[in-house]
Structure 1
Amino acid sequence: MTLSPELLLHAYSIGIFPMAEHRDDPEVFWVDPKLRGIIPLDRFHISRSLARRMRRMPYSISINRDFAGVVDGCADRAETWINADIRDHYLTLHERGFAHSLEVRDGDTLIGGVYGVTLGAGFFGESMFSRRTDASKIALAYLVDRLKQTGFMLFDTQFLTAHLSSLGAVEISRARYHQLLEQAVEQSADFTAPIPQSAEGVIQRITQTS
């Protein structure tokens, strides 16, 4: 089946997403996990060591400043499901306002980030990367705070990994996921809304509800 931005958005709206076997495979397949990973927005966990790093690490946070750079950072590994077709279509979704990135920088150097698709009040996390210790955790902390402050209801991580579990992610059934999905896509949220995002503010807002 030929991918298109319209097909991708429809797929997310019904709970499935595409993957490729590897970067050089031109074919994609659709995934609908029996168990779905999500991060409840009121249960994200910031450890003491992560909080210290967030307070002390010389970094800056931006959104949508380098979407392609984040996608390429996520694909820059020995094994990746991001092939050229997937990359191109997500860049198109970004240009149309349906895909977003959050970047972590040290000066002008991109050291980590996360990107995903938005529909209604649902954020569908696609991938993240880190080139410095805890950079992807910092990206997720700022992302969760942004999602909470801008009206999102669902943060889909697709699968549950040990890394995500340590930050508060959980697995839910396909049926429960579809219930949450249906509720989220019927609501509205604005990922790009201007919000305060100091390290101390992010830590306080997350730890008050987790």
Structure 2
Amino acid sequence: MTIRVVVADDQELVRSGFVMILDAQPDMEVVAEAGDGAAAIEAVRRHSPDVALLDIRMPGTDGIEATGTICQETDCRVIMLTTFDSDEYVHDALHAGASGFLLKDVRRDDLVHAVRVVTAGDSLLAPSVARRLVADFVRRPRETAAPRSDRLAVLTARERETLQLLGRGLSNAEIAAELVVSEHTVKTHVSNVLTKLGLRDRIQAVICAYETGLVTVE
């Protein structure tokens, strides 16, 4: 399967660099480039890519706003790119629906790996990073309503356990060891959790675990 990618960055040289790296991969194709968020949204609508790499700071419609529109309207997964290592941007990107977050000085191999990981339905944040950032995200006063644990009523007991372990940042292998089941079984449970709760990926599952009170901030 060829992974179709849209790359959006207002700096042409930076954008071209990412395009060259991704187009050089045998399983990837850059189907469109964009210089601002509005153009990125249009490119995603026109080409239906699997992944969009979006710079955060772009003229007009910025990357965060573009991410929100893309994630609401399409199944395209978004990786945010920025030169600024700021938690604020990470929080806003996750809230908008992004599946990952990278600095622009990311290594070539890590960029390629990130695109593949996100295409497969996973996030590209390491478990320890996910715990720290998502917990901090949930603490923010963006949502003031009480936790809605009733949202989890559609899950089986084992699926709730799986979501709780996801919320703690465990990998599939670690969840398998914790539940004493195979990784294949864990993948099935994770898939069921995402489908039943209408979540896009593991990052949203982690957020859900905190928002519903299944996992609490220590």
Q: Same fold (TM over 0.5)?
A: no
Query: Which of structures 1 and 2 has the bigger CA Rg?
Result: 2
Task: Give the structure with the larger helix fraction.
Answer: 2
Task: With a CA cutoff of 8 Å and minimum separation of 6, indicate the structure with the bigger relative contact order.
Answer: 1
**TM-score, normalised relative to structure 2:** 0.27
**TM-score, normalised relative to structure 1:** 0.28
Task: Give the structure with the larger strand fraction.
Answer: 1
